[in-house]
Homo-oligomer: A and B are copies of this chain.
Amino acid sequence: MTRTGLSRSTVNQRIDALLQGALIVPSGEQAPTRGRPAEKFGFNRGRGVLLVADLGATGMRVALCDLAGEILSERDVVVDVAEGPVVVLERIQQEFVGLLAAAKLKRSAVLGIGLDVPGPVDSASGRVVSPPIMNGWDGFDIPGWFGSRYGCPVLVEKDVNAMAWGEQHLAHPDVADLLMLKVGTGVGGGLVSGGHIFRGADGAAGDIGHLHVDLPAAGPEPECRCGNTGCVEAYAGGWALLRDLADGGADVRTVDDVVTLIRSGDLAAVRLARRAGRALGEGIAHAVNLFNPRVIVVGGQLAHVEEQLFAGIREMVYRRSLPLATRNLQIVRSHLDRRAGLIGLALLLADTIFAPDQVDAMVSVNG
């Protein structure tokens, strides 16, 4: 009860509803107590599934999960988010159909759908808002699109928020203030604080990628795709490293190529990675002063060059942030790695289904 913050009677009502729907089954064990015995319940894994999609700038990962948030099967798909919502959502839907068919499940087994996107989401409507890199998505009704096809709750979340939720719940359950950093094609931040995702007034909170940083001796400020100069992302985003390495004559086409080149020890690439680390570190130092997190988790493709990136991050954070905020601070690599978003979505969805009024993220039930 302490865990949920719900009263005993509310929990009992919910358990009864779930037992009726066979979503959960008593797991047998019980402890002596007054009133209704404090039974343990397990998810009825056979009863229903969740479909989730983690949408990046140039690819996505889709998965079929059980109600405990465990991934049953998953697929990687190449897709360009800039093709717009109609093309991309149809592609996701094809994959969902494929995942269900492979598992011999009907559409009616789907109890919830979750999608995360590389841009801010209006939590009241589940619509993407003013996404800098998602042409044509502004205001598109994603929950309505899936809701009409499945008739189940549909949840839309900013990618790094879903990742933060997954990391906090599985890797750092005792940490109340966790900041997640995604360093992939772009750079984004998501904060879980006191059991809630911190979204801000417009769903735009955590935007570490466009903090302006001042790197001594780094030359003229690089241009950012947002139109400004000197943003964290203009030094540390995968797109920026790709640009800078290509400008230097390196044969790189994707962010994965960048990661490979840095790991190979290429001098120019390592130098850029360390500069990226310092830019991230200056941005993170700002976030440490303002959010005062206990743990910072770094994920995304660039987290795979941990060694080169983390030196710069730690250098700037310890130089710039006050001791009180850093003395118990941990900076760690993502535990769930490429699955953080999928798992976070599945856990958020499970919360939505089991306690709809406790979840402030968008949920739409149609049909």
Contact = CB atoms under 8 A, between A and B. Distances in A.
Interface of A: 7, 120, 129-130, 132, 176-177, 189, 193-194, 196, 198-208, 210-214, 226, 228, 282, 285-287, 289-294, 319-325, 327-329
Contacts of A189: 290
A45 to B, nearest CB: 33
27 contacts: A7-B7, A129-B324, A130-B324, A193-B198, A194-B196, A198-B198, A200-B291, A200-B325, A201-B325, A201-B328, A201-B329, A202-B328, A203-B292, A204-B289, A204-B292, A207-B289, A207-B290, A207-B325, A208-B289, A212-B214, A212-B282, A212-B320, A213-B214, A226-B322, A286-B286, A286-B290, A290-B290
A60 B208 CA distance: 37
A276 to B, nearest CB: 18
A14 to B, nearest CB: 15
A116 to B, nearest CB: 18
B214 A320 contact: no
Contacts of A177: 200-201
Contact of A204 (B200, B208, B324): B324
A228 B198 contact: no
A290 B291 contact: yes
A286 B177 CA distance: 19
A6 to B, nearest CB: 10
Nearest to A9: B7
A265 to B, nearest CB: 31
A202 B228 CA distance: 33
Nearest to A230: B214
A204 B211 CA distance: 20
A291 B205 contact: yes
A342 B285 CA distance: 32
Contacts of A120: 324
A236 B292 CA distance: 22
Nearest to A209: B289
Contact of A208 (B193, B290, B329): B290
A361 to B, nearest CB: 13
A328 B327 CA distance: 36
A297 B213 CA distance: 25
Nearest to A325: B204
Contacts of A205: 290-292
